[in-house]
Amino acid sequence: MKLILLGAPGAGKGTQATRIAEKYGVIHISTGDIFRANIKGGTEIGKLAKSYIDAGKLVPDSLTCDIVKDRLEKDDVKAGYLLDGFPRSLYQAEELSKFADIDLCLNFEVDTALIMDRICGRRVCACGESYHVSTLGGKTTCAKCGGELYQREDDNPETVKARLDTYNVMTAPLIAYYAAQNKLATVVCGTKTPDEVFEAVCEVLDKLD
Ligand code: ADP
Ligand code: ZN
């Protein structure tokens, strides 16, 4: 199973990706996570990516595409993978089509009015789990692994606004792009809980294999 997860920032791609990877045994590849790990490790890639991420812009295509291409050459993805946050532009989608054959693009449709609160209230754990402050009841550690929760640096109102603009201009055209290839499935998130969204996701994926 080779999947793409598409959706505006805050649509819940990361949360669903973790669950899909667990249930269907596919490797979760998140370009955002790769960039954040590089920033944390102080690598050249991290230094280059940071200014773009802080500004809510896309990291340059050449760098991003190379990273994904290299990752997809590793052996562990042979049984299937899940791309979370890539492709994010028509150019990236065209590049991807040169080195990968995708089965399906899952598009998460979310009410944009909810996004600002969702993202600015988000707290994440290094293990990949994320939470919303409204449901934490003051807790500051991860229920799954006990790790300390923190807020992503780009989860602030100004950067979120820029990320939404970037999504609308650069990424949203991918919905029509994959629909035209008959490779699009849309999951409407609305105000559904992560469990309810995952149920809808499984319904789609169970038909795939
Ligand atoms: P979200 O979906 O919540 O916005 P991500 O973790 O997917 O967050 O991405 C964080 C940032 O990393 C993006 O705003 C962008 O700057 C950069 N990034 C991630 N994926 C890509 C990509 N495919 N192309 C260019 N930049 C990317
Ligand atoms: Zn955790």
CATH superfamily of domain region 2-111+171-205: P-loop containing nucleotide triphosphate hydrolases (3.40.50.300)
Residue 71 among the catalytic residues:
no
What's the first-to-final CA gap in the chain, in angstroms? Answer: 8
Q: Say what the pLDDT of residue 139 is.
A: 96
State in Å: Cα 10 to ligand 2 middle.
19
Q: Which of 36, 88, 118, 123 is catalytic?
A: 88
Residue 135: in which H helix or E strand, if any? helix 133-136
Nearest to 48 by CA among 74, 67, 23, 20: 67
Q: What is the pLDDT along the chain (209 residues), one digit of tens a residue?
A: 999 999 999 898 998 999 999 999 999 999 999 999 999 999 999 999 999 999 999 999 999 999 999 999 999 999 899 999 999 999 999 999 999 999 999 999 998 888 999 999 999 999 888 999 999 999 999 999 999 999 999 999 999 999 999 999 999 999 999 999 999 999 998 788 899 999 999 999 999 86
Q: Which atom of ligand 1 is nearest to the CA of 84?
A: 7
Sorted by where each begins, the domain ranges of the chain are: 2-111+171-205
pTM: 0.92
Does residue 9's CB lie within 6 angstroms of at least one atom of ligand 1? Answer: yes
Ligand 1 atom closest to 55 (CA)? 16
